[in-house]
Amino acid sequence: MTVPSDQDRSEEAGLPAPPADGPGLFGDAPQPPAPAMPDAAPAAPYRVLARKYRPTTFDDLIGQETTVRILRNAFALGRVAHAFMLTGVRGVGKTTTARIIARALNCTGPDGTGGPTADPCGVCPNCVAILADRHPDVLEMDAASRTGVDDVREIIEATRFRPMQGRMKVFIIDEVHMLSRNAFNALLKTLEEPPAQVTFIFATTELRKVPVTVLSRCQTFALRRVPQVELAAHFDRVAQAEHVRFSPDALSLIARAADGSVRDGLSLLDQAIAQGTLDGEGGTDAAPIGMDLVAGMLGLADRGLVFDLLDAVLEGRPDRALAITADVYVRGGDLGVMLGDVLELVHTVSRIKAIPALRDNPELPEAERQRGAALAERVPVPVLGRTWQMLLKGLSEVEQAPDRRQAAEMVLIRLCYVADLPPPGDLVRRMLGQDAAAAPLHVPEPAGGGNDVSGPAVSTPPVAGGPPAGGDGGAIRMVANGGMRVEGTPRPAAPRTGRVEETAPAPEPLAPPRTWRETVAFVSGRDAMLHGHLRHATHLVSFAPPLIEIRVERNSLPGLARRLETILREGTGDPAWQVRQSDAEGEATLAEQGAEIIQLHRAAAQAHPLVQAAMQVFPTARLGEVTDHALDDYGLPPEEMAVQNLAPDLEFAPLDADLVEEDDLDADDFA
């Protein structure tokens, strides 16, 4: 049925037809439809390079030769595991490898009759569906957003059903370390004995957070960082496929910034292509995208400027260093990143100095091989180590400072200031060259030993009766605190007596102490508080075992004499020990005696020519603590045996000699 138009009705009624373009009854007349045009094809959404060039076969994976070889052999031998754990840093291909394994398990070949293979065809329905992320039997789950037990229960329930389309059900769980402890425990039984048609593939960047019970049920593959050379070559192939040209230095800079991650590098390459083509670079007929443009995009200083900055710092030229810093700042560079580049360069130069073969390593850029080798030739290791330490500390200061530029410039000024300071070893040799015949340090103690002095450290000569000291001041040895030690002629170490290890008392009685110092040491392992008061607040009046007389200072430990007496009786098993208090002055405390020895050592150390030479070089330096390793725990020289203190010309009768009565002695013997 055809509805007549207004014009037809007007003609039938004999009335003039309204104008075709005039207004209608309810307003403007509708415009006639435009002639039909063919539909334009909708523009396909842009896919980033990291997705566009994602590997689809094992051959496409770069930098993972070990993992690929093991998986290929497993498929060839029919020894494919039921659970895999893929670990590594971000962007090295964990999820990509999991999808390739899923395709290899479900591929049926172009004719539909093939079995599991390490080289999936890519044209069968299973391969096509997995590549399009729409296969019903390949399920991917993000454990970062689904961490609970209920999510794992859904997976366990799904394992009970056979595959709908493919040969195997494959469960890919990304960031598996984010699962909760209960979720891991719920998965253990199914993971240990899954159905024959189920395969689990886990991916994680934090392998240490995965329970050991889960790791023991999986085959673990550690995907390593991709070397810079392989990354640069891969980025060059991608750039050629995109019809964009890059200079080799620019690709090397992108590969270095990627830090072994393919995805990070492709994202940077995508950004560099967008920036370079807009600036008229990178086209087929245009100049290639250079290093300067990439460095500006990354916020990095030019590599040549980094070398110039390190040269200025090592030469002690703060004006040149600050000029380079200002240039980098004006260009929009981050000065904290610039210091990080200098720190990395110091490490590279140190490695070249330690391993000369690195000068021909193709993984290093040309600038590192040429200028880095030149720096390694003329800069000693101590200077490189000092620069590294100061830069490392300076980076933390930059991160905490309110103004990053000010903090970075202060770090560079400090580095320039210490540039002309010689290393400690050179300083020691210089001082010894001035005072080569310096006499060794003499300490007025009968049992002196080697002394350690913070700053320069010296050692005492041997005691009387020992080997004679050398006349050249001894040999030099650097010590751990950055100072130096002048070694005298080697001598046997003096025995340490009166020292008791802080261990539990032995069940059997011990030998009684023979001196007051041995008595105090006897207490040290049994009563710490009593030991402290005996050392610092007790004066010996007389020591005649088993009777001891002492004077205790006021406000000391109550019942000190009784506690000491009890310990001596119980420790030695001799009930005859007695400790009495006296009002006599007595000797100085052990602590006071040790302090006096320390002052003597300090005075002797200050008078040593080597120490005086060091003080002249460093006028504001102070002499630190002087330690004599031959002294005991109380800072005193070791006690001599009682027999050694007797006159050497005395003779003793043998133990089995008969006693002589007084009447039997001849009076002439006493004339």
Looking at residue 593, its pLDDT comes to 84
Greater confidence (10 vs 105) lies with 105
Same domain, 468 and 605: yes
Mean pLDDT of 340-344: 89
Same domain, yes or no: 448 and 584? yes
Residues 465 and 592 in one domain: yes
Is the predicted pLDDT of residue 631 greater than 80, yes or no? no
Across the beta sheet with 547-552, the strand order is 538-544, 547-552, 578-581
pLDDT band at 304 (very low <50, low <70, confident <90, very high): confident
380-410 confidence digits (pLDDT tens): 888 898 899 999 999 999 989 889 899 999 9
Q: Which residues pair with 246 in a beta bridge?
A: 289
The CA distance from 380 to 198, in Å, is 61
Instruction: Tell me if 37 is assigned to some domain.
Output: no
Output the pLDDT for position 501.
45
Q: Can you tell me the mean pLDDT for 246-253?
A: 87
DSSP 8-state code for residue 580: E
Residue 70: pLDDT band with limits 50, 70, 90: very high
Do 479 and 613 lie in one domain? The reply is yes
Report residue 127: phi and psi, to 5°.
-60, -45
Task: Choose one of 197, 222, 247: the last residue of a domain.
Answer: 222
Beta strand ranges found along 13-98 (DSSP E): 83-87
* pLDDT(295) > 50: yes
> Are 241 and 270 within 8 A, CB to CB?
no
Work out the average pLDDT over 501-511.
56
Of 66-75, 98-107, 425-434, 646-655, minimum mean pLDDT range:
646-655
Q: What is the domain-level CATH number for residue 351?
A: 1.20.272.10
What is the rounded radius of gyration, in angstroms, for the C-alpha atoms of the chain?
44
Q: How confident is the model at residue 642 (pLDDT cuts 50, 70, 90)?
A: very low
Most confidently modeled of 2-6, 513-517, 640-644?
Answer: 513-517
Same domain, 387 and 454: no
Cα separation of 523 and 529, whole Å?
Answer: 10
Mean pLDDT within 209-230: 91
| Confidence (pLDDT) at 33 | 55
Q: Residue 107's domain is classified under what CATH number?
A: 3.40.50.300
Residue 388 and residue 334 share a domain = yes
Same domain, 289 and 325: no
Average pLDDT over residues 500-527: 71
DSSP string across 128-150: HHHHTT--TTEEEEETTT--SHH
> Is pLDDT at 266 greater than 50 in this prediction?
yes
Is there a single domain that holds both residue 507 and residue 491? yes
Alpha-carbon distance of 263 to 234, in angstroms, equals 11
CA atoms of 518 and 497, how far apart (whole Å):
8
What local confidence, expressed as pLDDT, does residue 306 receive?
A: 86
- Look at residue 145 in the predicted model and tell me its pLDDT: 86
SS3 of 455, please?
coil
Q: Is residue 40 part of a domain?
A: no
Query: For residue 444, what is the DSSP state?
Result: S
- Residue where a domain terminates, one of 194, 222, 250: 222
Higher pLDDT, 451 or 121: 121
Q: Quick check: 495 pLDDT over 60?
A: no
pLDDT, position 279 = 59
Res. 662: pLDDT tops 80: no
pLDDT exceeds 90 at position 663? no
Q: Is residue 317 part of a domain?
A: yes
- Whole-angstrom Cα distance, residue 238 to residue 117? 27
pLDDT of residue 635: 67
Answer yes or no: is pLDDT of 652 > 60. no
Residue 185 is assigned to a structural domain of this protein: yes
d(CA 243, CA 237): 10
Distance of CA 236 to the CA centre of its chain: 33
- Out of 14-23, 55-64, 530-539, 581-590, which region has the weakest mean confidence (pLDDT)? 14-23
pLDDT computed for residue 17 by the predictor: 52
How crowded is the C-beta side of 362, counted as CA atoms within 13 Å?
A: 6
Identify residue 638 by its one-letter amino acid code: P
Name the pLDDT band for 487 (thresholds 50, 70, 90): very low
Same domain, 241 and 355: no
Torsion of CA 198, 204, 206, 211, to 10 degrees: -10
Task: With residue 220 as reference, give the H or E element that holds it.
Answer: strand 219-222
pLDDT at 263: 92
Residue 659 belongs to a domain: no
Q: Are the C-beta atoms of residues 316 and 419 closer than 8 Å to each other?
A: yes
Q: Domain for residue 590, yes or no? A: yes
Cα–Cα distance measured from residue 272 to residue 269, given in angstroms and rounded to the nearest whole number: 5
Q: For the residues 316-322, what does the mean pLDDT come to?
A: 91
273 & 309 share domain:
no
More confident residue, 227 or 659: 227
Asked if pLDDT for residue 589 goes beyond 70, the answer is: yes
Are 565 and 448 in a shared domain? yes
Residue that is written with structure tokens 């994202």 in the block: 267
Confidence (pLDDT) at 98: 94
Q: Residue 232 is part of a domain; what is its CATH number?
A: 1.10.8.60
Mean of pLDDT values over 569-581: 86
More confident residue, 562 or 444: 562
The pLDDT of residue 480 is above 80: no
In angstroms, the CA 373 to CA 360 distance is 10
Last residue of a domain, one of 222, 241, 259: 222
Between CA 7 and CA 601 the distance in angstroms is: 128
Q: What is the mean pLDDT of the chain?
A: 77
Q: Is residue 26 part of a domain?
A: no
Is residue 440 within 8 Å of 461, Cβ to Cβ?
yes
- Distances, alpha carbon 272 to alpha carbons 54, 229, 298, 300, in Å: 19, 19, 9, 14
The Cα–Cα gap between 347 and 335 comes to 18
Residue type, 627: T
Flag whether pLDDT at 500 surpasses 60: no
Q: Tell whether 366 is covered by a domain.
A: yes
Parallel/antiparallel/unpaired status of strands 456-458 and 484-487: parallel
Higher-pLDDT residue of 366 and 67 is 67
Comparing 290-294, 450-454, 664-668, the range with the smallest average pLDDT is 450-454
pLDDT of res. 433? 64
Same domain, 491 and 578: yes
Lowest-confidence pick of 20-29, 268-277, 556-565, 575-584: 20-29
Residue with tokens 């995965």: 210
Per-residue pLDDT of 170-198, as tens digits, reads 999 999 999 999 999 999 999 999 999 99
Domain housing 507: 443-646
Q: Which ranges of 359-503 does DSSP label H, i.e. alpha helix? A: 366-367, 373-378, 381-400, 404-417, 424-434
Number of domains in the chain: 4
Is residue 219 scored above 90 in pLDDT? yes
Would you say residue 458 has pLDDT above 50?
Answer: no
Q: List % helix, strand, coil for the chain (3-state, nearest 5).
A: 45, 10, 45
